[in-house]
Amino acid sequence: MKEAEIRRLLAANLLCVFSIILTAVLPAFFWKGFTVLGTHLTWLCICSICVSTLNVILHSILRPNLTPKRSSFAHKISRFLKCCIYFFMSCILFHAIIVLYGAPLIESVTETFLFAVLLSTFTTLQCLCVLGPNIQAWIRVFSKNGATSIWESSLQITTIGSILGAWFGAFPIPLDWDRPWQVWPISCSLGATFGYTAGLIIAPLWIHWNRKQLTYKSR
């Protein structure tokens, strides 16, 4: 395993962490009254857009191109449209799952959908950047010993971290503490963000510490 590739992964992940921090701090200089809690829906939109844009750019630049075949313009357009459809379907699916887990069905529809968009940004978009619109590859990566590169291992860790963070973030909502961050979906979206951020930091460190045990095989 090349150390240079691990350093590229670490650089990409740290830039993503830095971008999330900026989305919480930088808008306050231009938008009076902006806070992550007070204007949470706005922050959800800003965070989703910034993380999505940065991830697409970073993966196109830093990640080695493993599939140089079929790079015609028509194929690129078809791939882009498939990615957009997959991402939109992921948002709808996450929205439905969140409602099934207890989110309001009719009330707070905007809040629930934007939270679903954030979750899709942390999970599905990562899959699209690393694996493309290939469901079979997604299933392979999230099966036991399915990763074939450090990028796929990082994808596993950040995706699991995001979902677990969102799940743990739901625990304080029914408690009668009457805190501002208990309003739906603030604690869940913050939990997902912390889980995603933790995954970004943990992934390259874990890969570096276990690089001698990790033996990736192409499939």
Rounded to whole angstroms, the Cα distance separating 96 from 94 reads: 5
pLDDT given at position 146? 80
Rg (CA), the chain: 18
pLDDT given at position 1? 54
The domain spans of the chain are 1-61+73-218
The model scores a pTM over 0.85: yes
Rounded to whole angstroms, the Cα distance separating 165 from 181 reads: 15
Mean pLDDT of successive 10-residue stretches along the chain, which has 219 residues = 83 95 94 92 96 92 58 81 96 96 89 97 95 92 85 95 96 87 94 97 93 69
Angle formed by the axes of helices 186-209 and 109-122, nearest 10°: 10
Contact 102, 166 (CB under 8 A): no
Rounded to whole angstroms, the Cα distance separating 159 from 156 reads: 5
Both structure tokens of 205: 């460190």
Looking from the CA of 214 toward its CB, the CA atoms found within 13 Å total: 21
3-state secondary structure of 38: coil
Query: Count of CB atoms within 10 A of residue 163's CB?
Result: 18
Q: What share of the chain is helix, strand, coil (3-state, %, to 5)?
A: 70, 0, 30
Both structure tokens of 206: 């874990």
pLDDT given at position 63? 62
Rounded to whole angstroms, the Cα distance separating 100 from 187 reads: 18
- Residue among 29, 11, 22 nearest 49 (CA): 22
pLDDT given at position 177? 83
Rounded to whole angstroms, the Cα distance separating 166 from 188 reads: 5
Looking from the CA of 75 toward its CB, the CA atoms found within 13 Å total: 7
pLDDT given at position 64? 56
Contact 118, 98 (CB under 8 A): no
Identity of the residue numbered 204? P
pLDDT given at position 219? 52
Sign of the C-alpha dihedral computed for residues 127, 59, 195 and 90 taken in this order: negative
